[in-house]
Amino acid sequence: MENIVVEKVELQENKKPENKFIGGLYDIVSIFMTAVITIMLIFTFVFRFVGVVGPSMENTLFNGDWLLVSAISSEPEYGDVVIVTQPNYYNEPIVKRVIATENQVVDIDFSTGAVYVDGEKLNEPYVKGNTTDKYEVDFPVTVPENHVFVLGDNRNHSSDSRSTKIGFIAEDYILGKVKYRVFPFGDFKVE
């Protein structure tokens, strides 16, 4: 009888390593899946990466730059660089700078390139060249409620709210505010 009892103990000890292996594997898979889900939630609801296409935001942003965009919604303000997903003529998201918000009056003097909001000339050190290209919109214009008026920093190479192809941007279509340039490495701050 002793031999039988010893064999049963040996069989039970042999099963324990399999259970430990399966339990350890389950723990690793569980941790990995939790990490993946957490990262997906963060990059869906908190931050997103967006690439810049085209020259419309030079010298602030360049074609091929990668941006970290905050998806946490807050009211857009003058000077914010935003990603816009509003359907437009080009059928693609665009990156532009907020120049005016709801109920503000925008006027552009195309002979001098000066932009005015509510009668005040904007100080725009980020602009590449004067705003001399006129599109279909007649100025002055008043920004509708829950909309913004956007311009590219490279004003003479930008399709923006001066054109009916883009127009005023509904705040609901602002994907987020650009927080940092993550590629190329170096100057991370976007102003």
User: Torsion-angle region of residue 91: left (phi > 0), alpha (psi -120 to 50) or beta?
Assistant: left
**How far apart, in whole angstroms, are the C-alpha atoms of residue 14 and residue 71?**
53
- Among 190, 137, 189, 188, CA closest to 159: 137
Task: Give the contacts of 117 (CB within 8 A, at least 6 positions apart).
Answer: 78, 99, 100, 104, 105, 106, 107
**How far apart, in whole angstroms, are the C-alpha atoms of residue 62 and residue 134?**
23
Q: Is 163 part of the annotated catalytic residue set?
A: no
Of 8, 30, 56, 111, which one is the catalytic site residue? 56
**How far apart, in whole angstroms, are the C-alpha atoms of residue 75 and residue 113?**
28
On the CB side of 56, how many CA atoms lie within 13 Å of its CA?
Answer: 19
Structure-block tokens of residue 49: 């990466």
Q: Is 8 part of the annotated catalytic residue set?
A: no
- Contact between residue 149 and residue 141 where contact means Cβ atoms under 8 Å apart: yes
Residues designated catalytic = 56, 96
